[in-house]
Chain A
Amino acid sequence: MSNKQKTKYDMNSPEAKALTDEIVHGTFMKEGTMAAFPTCFPGASIPIPADESHITALDISGDGMVYGGTSGRAVHLFVGMFHGVTGIVFDLGMPAGANHCAAVCCAGSRVVSCVNGPGGGRVVATGHQGLPFDLIQEWGFGRPAIDDWGKVDGERIVHAVADSTRAMVVGITTRSLFVADPGKGKAEVIGEVPGQGRIAPGSKGGIFGKDEGDWLWRYDSAARKLARQALKLPTGAWDSAPLCWARDTRTGLLYTADGGGNLFSLDEERGFSAPLGKTLPAPVGPMAVTYDGRVFGFCGPEMAKMFCYNPAARTVTNLGVAVSVLERRRYGYVFGDAVVGRDGQIFFGEDDDLGHLWLYFPKILPR
């Protein structure tokens, strides 16, 4: 309805220019630098087809390689390398019959991926990639075999993670908790859980996921014990958005958010924190914790805004819409996963047509 009270803005007002600049330029990347990297070796190979390149899963190996998986008309597994004389996203291949990648996990000597297709979820695995010789001078790549470890329980896989020792993969389907042992090459159902949202390893070896009601289940990977309704979630809107997590790899501290964008931390010994702050908009999507403890993530549907939670200042800051002016000139609207990189940069997987791997270099805070 028209609001007749509104008066026309005076374009000659002294603040018009500054306000215009704020509206136009204050919208994007207010802090740090983004670089969108295509899913290829620029100049030497072509990207993954646009409608097969929604990046929905990421993980990082001990040697700093970023592994990921895409969704769309088909799934592609890939590895990204950005240190040394590299600079590539290499397409490792396409698991047969899959159109959704729920998780990629670096565990043991394998890269274990959980993919879905018309026949339900399957677990597949490839080996780790070594560093190539020199991607300025000469190179050679071979596409590795993708081993099919088979279905889990016939249902779609929702998510999976490597446990805190990175020896096992723990995942959920829409109805079961399962483990996949890289040494055995198959998945095994542990018990029944309501498979919803993402799961995460805590600071003491437990793995947490959303249980019925406002509860979390906890799985002890070492003891192979599942505890239902192990931990009560803090007061919040926990059923309006799938659970998401970020993990501080130094301390094991977890971060999550309710459907309203209220952030909480979870220490496995001390439990949940009080609300840390609130993102605008909501819900919170993928996020990761860099080495100084700051949490970077995206929030909001369709056109996500980046946020930063700084635990030192206890503030949540809106960093704006992602835009890359390095490597590729591109806006970033939807992101599917995040992982912290070798040097504290954050990798975000773009869950969009022609998805790119986005490298975020946070602002260096003054002393």
Chain B
Amino acid sequence: MRMKRREFLTAGAGAAAWWALPAWAGAASAGARPRQGAGDRGYRTSWYPFTGHPDADTCWSVSVGPDGRIYAAACAESVPGGVVKVVRYNEQKDGLDYLFSLDEMVDDPGDSGRATQCKIHYSFAPSMADGVLYMATHLSGPPIDQPAYSPWLSWHDAKRCFRGSALLAFDTRTDKVLWWDTLMPKEGCRCLLHDEERHRLYALSYPRDHFIIYDTRTRTRRDVGRIGSINAQTLFLDRRHRVWTTDDYGHLVRYDPETDRLERSPFVLPHNPLFQTGWHSVFYDVAAAPDGECVYAVTWIAQPRLMRMWPSRGDWPKVEDLGPATQDRDPTLPKDTFIDHCGGLVFAGDGQLYYVASRWRDPVYNPMPADGPEREGVVWRLNPANLKREEVAILKHPTQPAQYVSRGAVDHNGNLFFGNVGTRPVGVFKVHLPASRRRRNAHLPIRMWG
């Protein structure tokens, strides 16, 4: 059965009251059993559903905070009036702490009649000097008395229009929201980055795809201009304080503070030439290698492409095509990017890149056993030295496939966490690395973007 993510979510909204099942509360060890042929053994996984926020239907953000702990967004975007709650993994109790409901922090309640503060979408960004975790909200959740929301339709409707992306400065030392501001009126924040040395936050707006700069000292914003129609899903920073992303056609785009200008690469990022042109090959996720010299990226299109690049080398960086992240398929079928997906790129303390790529049953290209899952989320480990990839675990959700992972993060103990998007209950997976691969403060140098 083909099922789109939004249909999936909608169906989930009226589903059984899963949160009433006590067995699922807290950490539910899913005991991942790597498929035959997997490399290392001992990658155990645990599952933490968002039991404290029954409306939650997606988890778009998982990041490590400046304190080395894991923060996640329990988003509620398919529920009329739904709001996001910020959670943190509590290693003492091996469960999730619910820190706050974001609408209450920014005086924009879910029953306002406007589109709601429903999610945080790749928009956690740490500040190491003061222990602050910045976060910015995104839109899509309908007003409480509507079944859906369109920012295009309601742009000029003061009663319905999203108030704007709320930017919060959360002090991880005191667990207090220090201040908040509207990062971008009427629009949501697709992704956020912090250049701590320059005291600047960078963001992409949705739906207009504008590049926004926010000065954390003066708390003022500036709109640099529009990039295109499809948001890239991430921004990254290089050593020269340039901010990188992509445009609709798979070109690198960078903002250079020296020129105060958005520049576009003439080259198209790797894609499958059989059925793609580079269109929609926007970045989905980017992780910097621990040495800071290169980054690894994956695109947001069916059969997402892995690549690495060295942003400081050359006028435009050398981009190395690491090939598709997911399986082959029928090229006459525009595959659903909810099913065909790769995300959660994160470097662990062992210096290896981990990510989660989907796998699904296909009668021709991947005839998985009929008695097994229809889809699954596979945790891969990629060795940067030889580019060898090994499957190390499968994310086990109690009731459904977990092929879609939004983001991954490594905590100060060296374990990995992945955000799950699917049917409720959604939540966070923890992948316990083998002891030999864990390292204290594995989250450093910290990722500065969501």
Contacts and interface: CB of A to CB of B under 8 A. Distances in A.
Interface of A: 1-4, 6-9, 11-13, 16, 19-20, 23-24, 26-28, 46, 50-51, 73, 280-281, 300, 302-303, 305, 320-321, 329-331, 333, 352-354
Given A329-B229, A353-B226, A8 B153 contact: no
Given A3-B111, A3-B113, A11 B228 contact: no
Nearest to B153: A27
A2 B109 contact: yes
If over half of B's interface residues share one DSSP class (helix, strand or loop), that class is named, otherwise mixed; here it is loop
A73 B259 CA distance: 12
29 contacts: A1-B112, A2-B111, A3-B111, A3-B112, A6-B111, A6-B113, A6-B145, A8-B81, A8-B144, A9-B145, A9-B146, A11-B10, A11-B147, A16-B147, A19-B148, A26-B153, A27-B150, A50-B225, A50-B264, A51-B262, A280-B156, A302-B208, A303-B152, A303-B208, A331-B152, A331-B207, A333-B208, A353-B227, A354-B247
Nearest to A280: B156
A66 B123 CA distance: 43
Contacts of A13: 147
A22 to B, nearest CB: 9
Interface string B83-124: 000000000000000000000000001011100000000000
Nearest to A51: B225
Nearest to A352: B226
A8 B14 CA distance: 13
Contacts of B360: none
B377 interface: no
Contact of A330 (B142, B225, B229, B264): B229
Given A8-B144, A23-B149, A27-B150, A303 B156 contact: yes
B80 A23 contact: no
B226 A23 contact: no
Given A13-B147, A330-B228, 10 more contacts: A4-B111, A6-B143, A9-B146, A46-B266, A50-B262, A50-B264, A303-B152, A305-B156, A330-B229, A353-B226
Nearest to A332: B229
B213 to A, nearest CB: 15
Closest 9 CB pairs of A and B: A353-B226, A9-B80, A20-B148, A27-B153, A281-B156, A303-B155, A353-B225, A2-B109, A23-B148
A330 B153 contact: no
Contact of B156 (A300, A330, A331, A333): A300
Interface in B239-281: 247-248, 261-262, 264, 266, 279
Contact of B226 (A12, A19, A354): A354
A3 B264 CA distance: 46
Contacts of B109: 2
Contacts of B147: 9, 11, 13, 16, 19-20, 23
A353 B210 CA distance: 9
A24 B150 contact: yes
A1 B81 CA distance: 14
Given A3-B111, A330-B248, A331-B207, A24 B226 contact: no
Given A6-B113, A303-B208, A329-B229, A11 B150 contact: no
A9 B142 contact: yes
B13 A11 contact: yes
A23 to B, nearest CB: 4
A173 B247 CA distance: 38
A355 B10 CA distance: 36
A25 to B, nearest CB: 9
A23 B149 CA distance: 7
A3 B143 CA distance: 11
A331 B14 contact: no
A353 B227 CA distance: 7
Given A2-B112, A50-B225, A354-B226, A302 B144 contact: no
Contact of A6 (B13, B144, B208, B264): B144
A7 B266 CA distance: 51
Interface string B6-22: 00001001100000000
A354 B80 contact: no
A326 B10 CA distance: 31
Contacts of B148: 19-20, 23-24
Contacts of A12: 14
A3 B228 CA distance: 36
Contacts of A4: 111
Contacts of A305: 156
A142 to B, nearest CB: 23
Nearest to A302: B155
B152 A321 contact: yes
A12 B15 CA distance: 11
Nearest to A1: B112
Contacts of B113: 3, 6
Contacts of B247: 354
A13 B145 CA distance: 12
Contacts of B142: 9
A1 B146 CA distance: 18
A352 to B, nearest CB: 5
A2 B145 CA distance: 13
Which of B109, B142, B147, B207 has the most chain A CB atoms inside 10 A of its CB? B147
A64 B208 CA distance: 32
A330 B14 CA distance: 34
Contacts of A352: 226
A11 B155 contact: no
Nearest to A301: B156
Contacts of A1: 112
A27 to B, nearest CB: 4
A45 to B, nearest CB: 12
Given A300-B156, A302-B155, A321-B152, A23 B145 contact: no
Contacts of A28: 152
A23 B225 contact: no
A9 to B, nearest CB: 4
A7 B152 contact: no
A158 to B, nearest CB: 24
A50 B147 CA distance: 37
Contacts of A300: 155-156
A10 to B, nearest CB: 9
Which of B156, B228, B248 has the most chain A CB atoms inside 10 A of its CB? B156
Contacts of A329: 229, 248, 279
Contacts of A24: 148, 150
Contacts of A320: 152
B252 to A, nearest CB: 13
Nearest to A21: B148
A352 B261 CA distance: 15
